[in-house]
Chain A
């Protein structure tokens, strides 16, 4: 049983987790950096502990400080949210060593899925298709070239410890490999502490479709259907929806079966997401597993009517899964738009500053998860996600109409935001028809 939960995060996700805690009657503890004094997530919690300076490595990435805050506030569980320490198996392990419950998968599962090459090997062994590519790190440019010759150019160079699109590069031909290798290795080294890279085949116009999975301590793994997340910039998602429009039923059932088999093979517990690319012929390939709650989890919640965070807390506390597979249905359609503090007219440059006006839409079928309010300062130190707009409806058309209306009514002044760009995406023929792929945005489809 869990009684008091510390959320090792900030912004909208900390607030979302506190809400679930309150629903279960759990005491809530926030942590905050110097930049986040008085932030909404701090006021939402029963108690708050200052953990250090504004740069994340001095606060939200500082495991020692967070564990010490948990001791001070007598927390018995830590929820990591997403980002920051959520996919650090060392942190998950340290939480357990301290006698606390880590609300998430086991350190072993996080470690296995955090090593993207190991994940490719494990998924292949479990019968989950992966993209052609290397199953060992490529040591140097010559090694990358040898691997690239096997799979054929263009290829993707990826960081072995990767995620979030960091240290990832499309390489069109052998002559471009040396430069791309150096840049990707340097970025990977800076972000993850290891510059190890691997090679994968590059797909033209694939869709990004992922499957939400959930396991409990007794070996049961279920899926909560798919999310279509092809609208991306910098390999990071901007719009997500479920069900994935015009996904053939055979592909859908193949994806969910593969996701469950893959998660079972590693004894996965709690919430996780298996990400796949789907090619134009309906072939699908495992990309990676996110061993944590995802930004876009509300899409699945609105579609199924189930609360993923409440389930996370229950399962982490030792309860069995609250649902059977046949009870988990796609009852509605839902779309999420991520409102980032970025200027879409300047290549999505980050835009910091004070929120001077904030009018958020409300109404039937609209859900908002916001980390900011009027007067909030958007800092240069953290992820630029301000808030998420989620619209659901009985049909995709209804969800789309509601989303268009919500975006029209949404006013944020201060930092530049992605709202004008999101309006164009939602109004576009490409999105409306559901004929989406991950390269649409960089091809300028929404530049209007």
Chain B
């Protein structure tokens, strides 16, 4: 069952720390957002494989935007 990972805050994509096919554990950073000079990881809600990354570094995302999809 695919699961969308949503940004929990508004910010700018600082770093993409995974790529499609990567295995992640629950709590691993899938991407890192930057907001107000802080780096804030967007974490995988469960273990799984990354199916899709929907953002690019430097892009602004709003709270609730889908940033990645887990298999």
Q: What residues of chain A have their CB less than 8 Å away from a CB belonging to chain B?
A: 55, 187, 234, 341-342, 349-353, 380-384
Contacts and interface: CB of A to CB of B under 8 A. Distances in A.
A382 B40 CA distance: 15
Secondary structure class of chain A's binding surface, majority of residues: loop
A432 to B, nearest CB: 30
A382 B36 contact: yes
Given A350-B9, A350-B11, A383 B40 contact: no
B56 interface: no
Contacts of B8: 349
A380 B40 contact: no
B20 to A, nearest CB: 24
A352 B37 contact: no
Interface in B15-71: 34-40, 60
A382 B9 contact: no
30 contacts: A55-B12, A187-B39, A234-B38, A341-B36, A342-B36, A349-B8, A349-B9, A350-B9, A350-B11, A350-B35, A350-B36, A350-B38, A350-B40, A351-B9, A352-B10, A352-B11, A352-B35, A353-B10, A380-B10, A380-B12, A380-B34, A380-B35, A380-B36, A380-B60, A381-B12, A381-B36, A382-B36, A383-B36, A383-B37, A384-B37
Contacts of A55: 12
B12 to A, nearest CB: 6
A412 B23 CA distance: 42
Given A380-B60, A384-B37, 7 more contacts: A187-B39, A341-B36, A352-B10, A352-B35, A380-B34, A381-B12, A384-B36
A381 to B, nearest CB: 8
Contacts of A342: 36
A324 to B, nearest CB: 39
A16 B25 CA distance: 48
The 6 A-B pairs with the shortest beta carbon distances in the complex, nearest first, are A350-B36, A384-B36, A350-B35, A380-B35, A352-B10, A380-B11
Contacts of B9: 349-352
B29 to A, nearest CB: 12
A11 B40 CA distance: 23
Given A380-B10, A380-B11, A380-B35, A349 B40 contact: yes
B21 to A, nearest CB: 24
A382 B10 contact: no
A187 B9 CA distance: 21
Contacts of B39: 187
Nearest to A351: B9
